DNA sequence: CATTATTAGGGTAATTCGGGTA
DNA sequence: ATTGTCCGAATTACCCTAATAA
């Protein structure tokens, strides 16, 4: 299994946006920028992995002052 | 054997919908639009090939390039 | 044969997409 | 550089009743 774990719970852009308190458009931009993985429906709409979203949320909570930021 | 998919596991619209996190009706629309192959039961209900669905999920999946570079 | 869950079919809101702009 | 908003177009979600599946 390389691509997606079949059976992983997926979230809609609106749900992810609500979790991060941002506009759904912003979540779309994150996906386009490759900052978050996304699955597209045959119709072109995006779905996000709940596990990955939770990981990102946890990183926000961490907000380490270390130099882990982008180069 | 000419039939290339004899014995292929079939999924119901509800199961496919759960995998993509969409409404079962949406899966039906995909079939109607020819975006996904479907088999019809004698009663008119649709069934989908598990292998095709998995392939579709994999193709439409974008890995988030997380931890890509070997440390 | 009876029961319960799912699906088909149509119609109407809500969401998302994509580009461009502030 | 990142986010929010406006627009039109497309996709998806939820409403219903009847039929099929198990």
Contacts of B56 in chain A (CB under 8 A): 42
pLDDT-derived band at B66, boundaries 50, 70, 90:
very low
Across the interface, of B21, B54, B62, the residue whose CB is closest to A6 is B54
Over residues B15-47, the pLDDT tens digits come to: 999 999 999 999 999 999 999 999 999 999 999
Residue B71 lies in a domain: no
Residue B15 lies in a domain: yes
Tell me the backbone φ, ψ of residue B14, rounded to 5 degrees.
Answer: -65, -40
Residue B60: the pLDDT is 87
- The whole-angstrom separation of Cα A52 and Cα A58 is 10
User: Which range marks the domain in which residue B50 is found?
Assistant: 9-66
- The whole-angstrom separation of Cα B60 and Cα A3 is 9
Residue B5: the pLDDT is 63
Nearest residue on chain A to B22, alpha-carbon basis: A41
CA angle at A51 for the pair A27 and B59, rounded to the nearest 5° = 70
Residue B3 lies in a domain: no
Residue A3 lies in a domain: no
Which residues of chain A have a pLDDT value below 70?
1-7, 63-71
Here the CATH number for the domain that contains residue B23 is 1.10.1660.10
Give the ranges where A1-71 is alpha helix by DSSP (H): 13-20, 24-32, 50-62
pLDDT mean across residues, chain A: 86
Residue B35 lies in a domain: yes
How many domains does chain B divide into? 1
Across the interface, of B26, B30, B64, the residue whose CB is closest to A52 is B64
Residue A1 lies in a domain: no
Residue B16 lies in a domain: yes
Residue A59: the pLDDT is 84
């Amino acid at each position: 299994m390389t691509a997606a774990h079949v059976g992983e719970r997926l979230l809609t852009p609106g749900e992810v946006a609500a979790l991060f308190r941002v506009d759904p458009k912003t979540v779309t931009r994150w996906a386009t920028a490759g900052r978050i993985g996304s699955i597209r429906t045959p119709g072109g709409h995006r779905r996000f992995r709940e596990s990955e979203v939770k990981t990102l949320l946890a990183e926000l909570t961490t907000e380490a002052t270390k130099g882990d930021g982008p180069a």
